[in-house]
Amino acid sequence: MMNDQSQANLEPIDDLRSWLRRLELEEHLTHVTEAVDWDLELSGVVRRTYDVLGDASPALLFENINGYQAPEPNKLFIGQFRSYSRICTLLDLDPATSTRRDIVRRLKTLFLDEIPPLEVAEAPVHECIDEGDAINVLKFPVPRFNYRDGGRYVGTMHAVITKDLNSDWVNLGLYRVMVHNERELGIYFLPGRQHIGKQYLDYAERDEPMPVAIAIGLDPRLAFIASGNVPAGVCEYDIAGSMKGGPIEVVKGKTVDLPVPAKAEIVIEGFIDPKEFRDEGPFGEYPGYYGEVPGPAPLVRVTAVTHRQDPVFQASIEGHPINESHVMSSVMKSATIWNELEHNGVPGIQDVACVPEASNAHMVVSVKPTVPAHADWIASVVWGTSSSVWLFKHLFVVDDDIDPWDIGQVSWAMAWRVKASEDIKVWKNHRGSPIDPRQEPEQKGYWDRVLIDATRPWGWQPRAVWGSEGVGKGEPQKFPPTSRPDQNTIDLVNQKWDRYGIEPVGEFIGSPVGIMRNWWQPPEDQE
């Protein structure tokens, strides 16, 4: 771990290249120099890394891709957000000691501030400019990720930049982009849904082409925030500036009137004609299934490709959990939902966890209940957000003594604080994700939502048998007490722990930590 002086002398992160240098310094980057094929093999290497190494997975820089040799574009970077530690580094949190709760709390604060971008006249992303017959998006090592995919996907870790037709609102979103050919792309979004879909309807109503820019190889904050759920009308450049602590530099596109990241590795410019569609997909999406029905999607006709010298292409593998989009979405959505709950006046929120192991279909909210039906109030807010169309199918509300990030603790609460006939509620046929594999093809776009209230019953009366200090002792409680040791015993054992000489075994099956480890933390660390 670097000392404070070393931290102070670190190069600031303001583009992909400075980010790569930081990851190199932190020993979080692996250079893959073995020859790999862009067709399935590269993604297979990434998939095995995530599946076997989990949260210890490094970021990967592939430098020997079949068919792509220097001096032409020949590098692919992937995996920047597969590690919570790397997100900590980006947020200036200690990657060794911080928790996901720390990340969420930092993000929810940063999301409330805005620093607008700074427009510059010249930019590294314009070092090389391809127009007309020179356009070829496949000059970059674009992978085919899964053998059932409908094609190669140029947009998986990027920012799609569009502008509202009736205002100055610029939107950055992470919408998948498939290659039809060297000059035509398919972009997956649903008209009228998501921010880009709302902007698109205005262009369609006027029958005007919609300018679009696809920026790849970014300051990691931009890719991170592009996947978020900032409110409509708020520009992601502004939130990324808040995360950075200074403005993001942008430059006007060469063929589109859009601000693009000045230090991006690659920008693909073009237009979407509201009358043009072409079949897109399927794609191995975030649930880990091919649950959607392939179909017509808006078509992008490319008008220019600009890039830096020796550009680094960037990608992200989707599919079964846990991949980097699950990781960044888990903390991103948790922070935005926590802010939404507070904005809507819901009291007592202690923590919010969008569960990556469930591809973020599970959300757990920890609360200190203050009113009857507190869990229902939470559900009405969570399911009223735009993200709920894609996520949060199952909502679990737990008491403040439960760590919502610990699936073991959540399972314990569900087992012993839930009475099914009272605490499990189903909302049928809500608007939902068209990617859900459990929904029949004919019913895509709808799903059932479930609220599981795993908090202690609100209406029970205190009973002496559940006394805080024992049967008939101390304050009567409303619910049977847990078997948590008393604080004096915890303090004594913690103080003498090193003297007991107890060490973990070298080989074991399962997790190296118990689910109630937070009981043994100092009280101030449990806040």
What tokens appear for 96 in the block? Answer: 């060794």
Give residue 439's pLDDT. 86
Give residue 127's pLDDT. 98
434 pLDDT higher than 60: yes
Here the contacts of 325-328 (C-beta below 8 Å, separation 24 or greater) are 325/81, 325/227, 325/286, 326/286, 326/356, 326/359, 326/360, 327/81, 327/82, 327/83, 327/84, 327/87, 327/356, 328/81, 328/87, 328/224, 328/227
Give residue 6's pLDDT. 55
Q: What percent of the chain has pLDDT over 90?
A: 77
4 pLDDT higher than 80: no
- Do the Cβ atoms of 343 and 375 come closer than 8 Å? no
**Band of pLDDT at residue 497, cut at 50, 70 and 90:** confident
C-alpha–C-alpha distance, residues 514 and 25, integer Å? 32
What pTM value is reported for the model?
A: 0.90
Closest CA to 14 of 138, 168, 120: 120
Give residue 294's pLDDT. 87
How much of the chain is in helix, strand and coil states, percent to nearest 5? 30, 25, 45
Kindly report the average pLDDT of the chain as a whole number.
Answer: 92
433 pLDDT higher than 90: no
The whole-number average pLDDT for the span 22-43 is 95
350: Cα separation from own chain's centroid? 21
- Do the Cβ atoms of 81 and 327 come closer than 8 Å? yes
The whole-number average pLDDT for the span 61-88 is 95
**Band of pLDDT at residue 500, cut at 50, 70 and 90:** confident
